[in-house]
Amino acid sequence: MRGSTRGAGCVLAAVAIVLVLALGVRAQSNETLRERALQLMAETPLIDGHNDLPWQLRKRFNNQLSKVDLNTLEGTHSNIPKIKEGKLSAQFWAAYVPCDSQYKDAVRQTLEQIDIIHRMCSKYPNDFMFATSTADIMTAFQQNKTASLIGVEGGHSIDSSLGTLRTMYQLGVRYMTLTHSCNTPWADNWLVDTGADPVEHHGLSPFGKQLILEMNRIGMLVDLAHVSEEVMNQVLDMSIAPVIFSHSSAYEVCKHKRNVPDSVLLKVKEKQGIVMINFYNDYVTCSKTATLSDVADHFDHIFKIGGPTIIGFGGDYDGVTRVPVGLEDVSKYPALVEELLRRNWSDEDIKAALGGNLLRVFRKVEEVRDSMKATLPDDLPIPLEEVENTCRTNDGYPTITGHAGISASHSPLALLIPLLIAAHLG
């Protein structure tokens, strides 16, 4: 009996040793993955496609940055300590204004959001560096600052004006989301695909097609987050430069119309563009709850369909009301990188997703811009009947009845569309 007890004790001791060793190996493995994630983020800039902190500053402080300290700001997904902890090397800050500003003061409000991003960089020069190019992103990365770029979220922000588009580019805007959650006079938004909004243009109007080529010409990234599937396909077919989805996820994983279907993912791959994955629970799991692992499922799916070259990060922090467990704020990016490593992503593929893909897309957009320097700006205005309303004056348009607008098909740049596309494909 005593021998039996002694034998049982030996077995228990052996089991305990195995458990301790297993736990030790697991802890070491997890620690190694975190260290490896941080090392990759030290070698390649993490570039996020969309953050709405500027909108939080408007809502909470009416853009009075003098009343805010971004080192101690609470109640937001983003502040400077969280940005540092999250190893966020470059951020496209959203210059967003709501759809109810369309036909009213959208341009003024957007300019004020552009201004607040400039002032953020001026107030915190040791933490933020204003950036407008791939070279700027790398300079900021080398200086351990967050490169701060501007994306205008919603085509209503330019009030159907190519001159306003160009002016915003001069102010540093480097992408424009063609629509938000409303149609513009020249493009349909994603709600068209749900039936909540009417189909107005079957994608892009003739002026919308003018605008895409003008964005190509000036070097502004075309952002297809928030647009209808028909717009996605039309832009991917006609744009000379690669395009982005600044904050969208995979439709096959969560069948929400804000996400990107597989057929479009294949076109993005062909066009050498990028889908920057959104963390909003409703787009991650189509429910109010989600986890970090659920977000990683979107990374895996887009990888499976389009490969590692079309993937990026587009958290949508401070623009959404629900974020996944494990990705509560911008400090949590390393945990997602760690999860991708746990799923056997290679170092090269993770570096591509962190920032390599966006840098490649951005460089190509810059190359297209430089190749079109000899092309004159498109100065054909949108036909008056497409924008006429009580809040808009008609100065400059012909006053003869029946001749309020000029056909967009007469645009010199629009006439070049077939030639430009043919040359690009060639």
Q: Which residues are catalytic?
A: 50, 52, 153, 180, 226, 247, 316
Q: Which residues are paired to 152 by β-bridges?
A: 95, 176
What phi and psi values does residue 276 have, to the nearest 5 degrees?
Answer: -100, 115
Assigned token pair, 295:
């977000």
Backbone φ and ψ of 370, nearest 5°:
-65, -35
Backbone dihedral region of 402: left (phi > 0), alpha (psi from -120 to 50 degrees) or beta? left
**How far is it, in rounded angstroms, from Cα 229 to Cα 258?**
9
**Whole-number Å distance between alpha carbons of 52 and 95:** 8
Rounded distance, CA 337 to CA 224, Å? 25
DSSP code of residue 354: I
Q: Which of 166, 50, 184, 206 is nearest to 106 (CA)?
A: 184
* Secondary structure (3-state) at 313: strand
Is there a contact between 414 and 383 (Cβ–Cβ < 8 Å)? no
Alpha helix stretches (DSSP H) within 143-203: 162-170
C-alpha 254/C-alpha 187 separation (Å) is 24
What is the rounded distance in angstroms from the CA atom of residue 78 to the CA atom of residue 64?
Answer: 17
CA dihedral 314, 317, 320, 321 (to 10 degrees): 140
Alpha carbons 424 and 158: distance in angstroms, whole number? 28
Task: Give the span between the Cα atoms of 18 and 409, in whole angstroms.
Answer: 76
User: Nearest 5°: CA angle at 395, between 390 and 396?
Assistant: 140
